[in-house]
């Protein structure tokens, strides 16, 4: 039996088509990885791989600028065009904003990116232990339960209404909810009957309807939900910006212990905290700084925002550091593997500097929490804490005389190691306060 043979020319065209498809898929992924926004600090630069030659259009996005923005792309200043062979080098020297649009064959729009350049920023590093007192907006649902009526029947109003753990209750019968106690008083005053309730679920506002039931034991009207509206904890101040009066700390969000949800901010403060004891970290057992503070402790600032990259707010007065009067902020392109240090407070001696190593760096063009890996190698700190422990989150990380980021998380299986977040991402979030 003869085997069917494909014409040689058809086979070659098929191979060419497969190569084109593979190349197109690779290029699509490459272009999709390009950021929508490029953030540059103090003359920082970024090199991006675009894959194919393209035409380029630059435009200053700030109207009535007296001086050029100082932003260049492949050496071309803003308001000039140009071409890109395979790489895009973006540099900023002064404050400014611009946009760059890439076009394939000079006609097909491929990608538009926003460029934000800020001048060299000078910050006062932190390292102080802080007590954090946060009151949430509304009331957070941390669990659901059934209510026993007088006849013994069990009813779950919150379940029937479709509430879930992690929902934030904002309004009850048209009234803004201040806290859990306020909600209880609203429920009792309104009594029986179906009531509209506004919630926030995954950052989306929803309106549900709920029918409270009367508890057979107490006679009170209840929703059948466990609620929380405040939290307390110990962390570390990352930096203070003397120009704006803002502060940043923790390097990660304050989340609810039960639901993992990022807590909204109604009001909050950071206060001075004293370290009383240290639970040393071991493999599989994260350590902890045990701090002491109260509502009468000295207030350092008010919390305005709680984000994935830390807490931010307004300082009561200028904050200082005993180790460094100030440090320049590093662009993330300046972060390298090798020697670095952390500032933190682990006893009554106050802020001290301890050595570490940056052992791995992640290239990030969009905000992400885990920017690099650090390893503590300072014998004094290892003897005291075993490495990175809870309460050290937010400890500023220094390299080559600049502030490069903050400690965020510890490796559970190796407390000597942890993650750090680029300072870029913290400055970006803090900038939205202005």
Q: Give tens-digit pLDDT for 289-327.
A: 998 887 788 999 999 999 999 999 999 999 999 999 999
Whether the per-residue pLDDT at 236 is higher than 80: the answer is: yes
Backbone angles phi, psi at 67, to 5 degrees: -120, 155
- Closest CA relative to residue 130, chosen from 300, 251, 255: 300
| Residue positions annotated with a catalytic role | 252, 378, 393
Q: What is the pLDDT of residues 318-367, one digit of tens each?
A: 999 999 999 999 988 899 999 999 999 999 889 999 999 999 999 887 88
Higher-confidence position of 4 and 356 = 356
Give pLDDT, residue 28.
56
DSSP 61: -
CA dist 312 and 433 (Å) reads 8
Q: Cβ neighbours of residue 89 under 8 Å, at least 6 residues apart?
A: 45, 46, 47, 48, 73, 74, 75
Structure tokens at 88: 């895009």
CA distance 289 to 336: 29
Q: How confident is the model at residue 69 (pLDDT cuts 50, 70, 90)?
A: low
Report whether 115 contacts 92 (CB < 8 A): yes
Q: What is the pLDDT of residues 29-60, one digit of tens each?
A: 556 667 777 777 766 777 777 666 666 666 66
The pLDDT value recorded for residue 260 is: 79
Average pLDDT on 158-169 reads: 91
Mean pLDDT of 223-251: 92
Q: Determine the Cα–Cα distance for residues 51 and 365; give it in Å rounded to an integer.
A: 17
Please determine, for residue 24, whether its predicted confidence score (pLDDT) is greater than 60: no
Distance (Å, rounded) from C-alpha 77 to C-alpha 92? 10
Q: Calculate mean pLDDT across residues 165-169.
A: 90
* pLDDT attached to residue 16: 44
pLDDT at 11 (0 to 100):
45
Q: Which distant-in-sequence residues (6+ apart) come within 8 Å of 109 by Cβ?
A: 101, 102, 103
pLDDT in the model for residue 118: 75
Condensed to tens digits (0 to 9), the pLDDT of residues 118-140 reads 777 899 999 999 999 988 888 99
DSSP secondary structure code for residue 249 in this structure = E
| Cα 99 from Cα 30, distance rounded (Å) | 19
């Amino acid at each position: 039996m003869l085997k069917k043979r494909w014409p040689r020319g058809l086979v070659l065209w098929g191979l060419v088509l497969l190569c084109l498809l593979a190349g197109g898929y690779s290029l699509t992924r490459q272009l999709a990885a390009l950021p929508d926004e490029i953030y540059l600090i103090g003359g920082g630069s970024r090199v991006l791989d675009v894959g194919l030659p393209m035409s380029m259009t630059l435009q200053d996005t700030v109207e009535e600028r007296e001086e050029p923005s100082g932003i260049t792309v492949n050496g071309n200043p803003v308001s000039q065009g140009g071409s890109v062979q395979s790489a895009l080098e973006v540099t900023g020297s002064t404050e400014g904003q611009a946009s760059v649009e890439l076009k394939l064959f000079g006609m097909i729009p491929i990608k538009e990116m926003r460029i934000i350049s800020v001048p060299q920023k000078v910050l006062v590093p932190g390292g102080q232990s802080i007590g954090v007192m946060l009151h949430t907006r509304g009331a957070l649902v941390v669990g659901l339960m059934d209510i026993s009526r007088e006849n013994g029947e069990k009813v779950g109003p919150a379940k029937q209404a479709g509430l879930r753990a992690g929902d934030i209750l904002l309004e009850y019968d048209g009234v803004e909810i201040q806290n859990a106690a306020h909600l209880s008083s609203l429920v009792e005053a309104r009594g029986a009957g179906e009531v509209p309730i506004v919630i926030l679920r995954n950052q989306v506002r929803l309106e549900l309807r709920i029918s409270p039931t009367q508890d057979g034991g107490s006679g009170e009207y209840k929703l059948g939900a466990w609620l929380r509206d405040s939290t307390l904890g110990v962390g570390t101040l990352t930096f203070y910006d003397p120009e704006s009066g803002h502060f940043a700390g923790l390097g990660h969000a304050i989340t609810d212990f039960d639901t993992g949800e990022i807590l909204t901010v109604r009001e909050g403060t950071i206060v001075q905290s004293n370290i009383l004891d240290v639970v040393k970290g071991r493999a599989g057992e994260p350590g902890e700084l045990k701090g002491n503070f109260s509502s009468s402790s000295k207030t350092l600032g008010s919390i305005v925002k709680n984000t994935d990259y830390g807490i931010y707010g307004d300082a009561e007065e200028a904050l200082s550091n005993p180790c460094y009067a100030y440090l320049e902020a590093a662009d993330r392109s300046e972060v390298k593997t090798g020697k670095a240090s952390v500032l933190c407070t682990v006893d009554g001696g106050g802020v001290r500097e301890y050595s570490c190593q940056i052992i791995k760096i992640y290239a990030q063009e969009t905000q992400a929490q885990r920017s690099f890996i650090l390893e503590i190698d300072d014998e004094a700190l290892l003897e005291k804490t075993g490495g990175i422990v809870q309460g050290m989150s937010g400890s500023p990380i220094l390299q080559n005389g600049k502030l490069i980021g903050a400690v965020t998380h510890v490796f559970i299986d190796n407390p000597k190691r942890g993650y750090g977040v680029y300072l870029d991402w913290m400055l970006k979030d803090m900038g939205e306060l202005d």
